[in-house]
Amino acid sequence: MKINTPTMENRMIIPMPPEAEGKMLLHSCCAPCSGEVIEAMAKCGLDITIYFYNPNIHPREEYDLRKEENIRFAEKLDIPFIDADYDTTNWFSRVKGMEFEPERGKRCTECFDMRFERTALYAHENGFPMFTSCLAISRWKDANQINGCGQRAAARYEGLSYWDYNWRKSGGSSRMLEISKRENFYQQEYCGCVYSLRDTNQWRVSNGRDKIELGIHYYGTDTESHG
Ligand code: SF4
């Protein structure tokens, strides 16, 4: 893996977790959230593999867009990319009864648990002593909620741990935006599931705005997003 970008040169080196033994499985939800995390981890010398497991994303058109953007960035940086299942049936059965939970509520805990449990299983089966996620870099997310889910998933396997590094600090949030613009990443406008699409559209309509149109906004040309 060879990464050399303008933002990398001035980046602070973050402390590398010794438990990782030099390599890390990164659960990624999309290119914008993972860009800064990938570049920060590469700078500290970690050997990264991206694990894309997000059966929450709806509809399929949006799922494919987010995944393809993540693959485009991974290929550019020569980082292995694991394309896991799109098992939406399991996701819908897991969040059944939570359709009207607000964002950052119980449905989201279940959603993170499901995605991290699969990530932890892959880490366990493929010799990764540690995994992490870029989900908590988003300002829309509750980092404590995400870290709790990550730690719970890691605890299922002896010798596996979850890295709860705060990716927003030391300029991480602004570099996330900078990298997204530099790479012209696809710019999602809702968290991902059909319920977040419904609720975001309801909010937009009640505030006199048009509903979300999928696949039209890219960083560098617009400013609004929801990762
Ligand atoms: S709002 Fe986001 S985190 Fe919560 S259930 Fe939907 S996709 Fe998952």
Give the domains, in start order, of the chain with CATH numbers: 22-206 (3.40.50.620)
Rounded to the nearest integer, the mean pLDDT of the chain is 92
Contact 29, 56 (CB under 8 A): no
Position 81 pLDDT exceeds 60: yes
Question: Is the shortest distance between the CB of 192 and ligand 1 below 6 Å?
Answer: yes
191 lines ligand 1 (CB under 6 A): yes
Q: Is the confidence at residue 5, as pLDDT, over 90?
A: no
Can you tell me the distance from the alpha carbon of 214 to that of 190, in angstroms, rounded to the nearest whole number? 10
Q: Is residue 37 predicted with pLDDT exceeding 80?
A: yes
Ligand 1 mean position, distance from CA 98 (Å): 11
Q: What percent of the chain has pLDDT over 90?
A: 82
What is the band of 76 on the pLDDT scale with cuts at 50, 70, 90?
very high
Are the beta carbons of 23 and 49 closer than 8 angstroms? yes
Best of 99, 104, 111 for a ligand 1 pocket test (most atoms within 8 Å of beta carbon) = 111
Say how many Å lie between the CA of residue 51 and the centre of ligand 1: 18
Contacts for 214 with CB less than 8 Å, ≥ 6 apart: 59, 61, 62, 65
pLDDT score, position 14: 81
CA of 168 to the centre of ligand 1 (A): 20
Q: Ligand 1 centroid vs 56 CA: distance in angstroms? A: 7
109 lines ligand 1 (CB under 6 A): no
pLDDT of residue 223: 52
Specify the residue with its C-alpha closest to ligand 1, atom 3.
108
Q: How far apart are CA 29 and CA 44, in angstroms?
A: 22
Tell whether ligand 1 has an atom less than 6 A from the beta carbon of residue 135: no
